Amino acid sequence: MWLELVLASLLAFVIYWLVSWDKEETLPLEDGWWGPGSKPSAKEDESIRPFKVETSDEEIKDLHQRIDGFRASPPLEGSCFHYGFNSNYLKKVLSYWRNEFDWRKQVEMLNQYPHFKTKIEEAGHPLHPREASPAPPGRTPKPLLMVHGWPCSFYEFYKIIPLLTDPKTHGLSDEHVFEVICPSIPGYGFSQASSKKGLNSVATAGIFYKLMTRLGFQKFYIQGGDWGSLICTNMAQLVPNHVKGLHLNVAFIPSSIYTLTPLLGERFGRFLGYTEKDIELLYPYKEKVFYSIMRESGYLHIQATKPDTVGCALNDSPVGLAAYILEKFSTWTKSEHRDLEDGGLERKFSLQDLLTNIMIYWTTGTIVSSQRYYKENMGQGLMVHRHERMKVFVPTGFSAFPSEILHTPEKWVKSKYPKLISYSYMERGGHFAAFEEPRLLAQDIRKFVSLAELQS
């Protein structure tokens, strides 16, 4: 049996090697139109306008009334988070949200960084906290685009921004000082949603490239996890000459031969290039990979097929929205948190931070448009898009956080990103790296940029 599997794997490797050489190619950079109706003949307004997050008494009153009208269903005894968000703990979250959480104060906090909007292809109107501190004499801040994913928002980066823009104040070396730009994906938060089908990660990458050039940056670094990882990867495939370096904490590797042979890794891991740490994080395979993906991918199937249906409920109920999103911050941070009555949510996050992210979705009414992103990117199936079959030829760094939903060994990453110059096994942390472990991620970004600068 094992011999047959080994022979099959070797045959697959030979076929893969014959059809996938290191061919450097780029995606075409195209212009889109995502606004309503036909594209107008007039030139697009390219102005960049200041923007502030706002709220009102009516908005807060409506939220409180909806929370007060929530109908709870009692959880099964001893179910913890195995059936989803535990409604006993949800009552505590709702009490804090209703009686202690101060949205006005959080709006002031969100506005601590300058925000801007600009029209690009009549979608996105990207809102971007843009922050830079004075660089040491003789040095210019390095532009760094950071892209969030689902169910996060630009707020994911609020704790890492000062570590990158003002490192010396926070006990880090000031060898690299960054100007950080954090746009919202179109249809997320305050970023205008598309009126048309098809706005996927490649289209978003093109919009964000145009955003960076509009801001005056011709060369820049990019960083992302979750959807941000795919968008940044696509940017490197679209405009590699403009991307000085790509840093990721999640990687999508659907076509690698290595991803086809994980069942062999427990016995033949060293022959496949796995390290002891890889084997520790990938095995036992049934628990670490198969069951983990099965448990955590239900939302993905819904959002990649019929996002608008469940979206009707989530856009109407702040409590339902909170339960649906916050459950991800439990098990995606650490899978063992499903064994806890409170899902371990407050072990890594504060309720204030978690609910601030929820409020960005709730007050903008963008849960439906954010979920449609799965349909646009996955609704046609896997390996049907050209970018999925392409490699990336810009200097790349990768942070492997141990509690990520699926560990990605260095061999897997390098099969997609041949110019991988930095791969780090992180000390702790899960899927929401910038939100959960901002200091660790900031240090690894800085390490990667040092290596990239040596090679430039």
Q: Write the pLDDT tens digit of every residue in 201-237.
A: 999 999 999 999 999 999 999 999 999 999 999 999 9
Residue 84 pLDDT exceeds 90:
yes
Check if the beta carbon of residue 89 is closer than 8 Å to that of residue 341. yes
The per-residue pLDDT for 254 is: 76
Residue 183 pLDDT exceeds 70:
yes
390-402 pLDDT, tens digit per residue, is 999 999 999 999 9
The mean pLDDT value for 306-310 works out to: 97
The per-residue pLDDT for 18 is: 44
Tell me, which fold does domain 49-455 have in CATH? Rossmann fold (3.40.50)
Distance between CA atoms of residues 448 and 456, nearest Å: 12
What is the per-residue DSSP string for 237-252?
HH-GGGEEEEEES---
The per-residue pLDDT for 125 is: 58
∠ CA 426-427-433, nearest 5°, is 60
Alpha-carbon distances of 124 from 87, 203, 231, 365, rounded to whole Å:
35, 11, 14, 15
Distance between CA atoms of residues 66 and 69, nearest Å: 5
Position 135 confidence tier, pLDDT thresholds 50, 70, 90? low
Share of the chain above pLDDT 70, in %: 88
The per-residue pLDDT for 264 is: 64
Q: Is the alpha carbon torsion for 32, 36, 38, 41 positive or negative?
A: negative
The per-residue pLDDT for 13 is: 47
- Catalytic residue list contains 22: no
Beta bridge partners of 208: none
Check if the beta carbon of residue 269 is closer than 8 Å to that of residue 305. no
Residue 133, classified by CB atoms within 10 Å of its CB into exposed (0-12), middle (13-18) or buried (19+), is: middle
Residue 5 pLDDT exceeds 90:
no
Residues 6+ apart with CB under 8 A from 134: none
The per-residue pLDDT for 34 is: 94
Q: Is the alpha carbon torsion for 411, 416, 422, 425 positive or negative?
A: negative
Residues 6+ apart with CB under 8 A from 433: 225, 249, 399, 401, 426, 440, 441
Check if the beta carbon of residue 368 is closer than 8 Å to that of residue 382. no
Look up the pTM and report it. Answer: 0.93
64-67 long-range contacts, Cβ below 8 Å, gap at least 24?
64/98, 66/317, 66/318, 66/319, 67/94, 67/97, 67/98, 67/318, 67/319
Question: Among residues 324, 374, 417, 423, which one is catalytic?
Answer: 374
The per-residue pLDDT for 289 is: 78
Which residue shows structure tokens 């390290």? 275
**H or E stretch covering 49:** strand 49-51
Q: Is the alpha carbon torsion for 105, 48, 248, 379 positive or negative?
A: positive
The mean pLDDT value for 425-446 works out to: 98
Question: Among residues 226, 247, 407, 417, which one is catalytic?
Answer: 226
Check if the beta carbon of residue 115 is closer than 8 Å to that of residue 51. yes
Structure tokens at 81: 């988070």
The per-residue pLDDT for 134 is: 63
Beta bridge partners of 178: 142
Average pLDDT, the chain: 90
Check if the beta carbon of residue 416 is closer than 8 Å to that of residue 251. yes
The per-residue pLDDT for 174 is: 87
The mean pLDDT value for 52-77 works out to: 97
The per-residue pLDDT for 4 is: 47
Structure tokens at 352: 């204030």
Residue 257 pLDDT exceeds 80:
no
What is the per-residue DSSP string for 326-352?
HHHHHHTT-GGGGGSTTTTHHHH--HH
- Catalytic residue list contains 62: no
The per-residue pLDDT for 8 is: 47
Instruction: Report phi then psi at 195, rounded to 5.
Output: -95, -5
Residue 334 pLDDT exceeds 70:
yes
Residues 6+ apart with CB under 8 A from 73: 87
- Catalytic residue list contains 431: yes
Burial string for 107-129 (b: 16+ CB within 10 Å, else e) reads beebeebebbbbbbbbbbbbbbb
Distance between CA atoms of residues 293 and 141, nearest Å: 40
The per-residue pLDDT for 127 is: 61
Which residue shows structure tokens 């968008």? 231
The mean pLDDT value for 374-389 works out to: 91
Cis amide leading into 50 (omega within 30): no
The per-residue pLDDT for 17 is: 45
The mean pLDDT value for 177-182 works out to: 95
Question: Among residues 125, 278, 431, 444, which one is catalytic?
Answer: 431
* Maximum pairwise Cα distance, the chain: 69
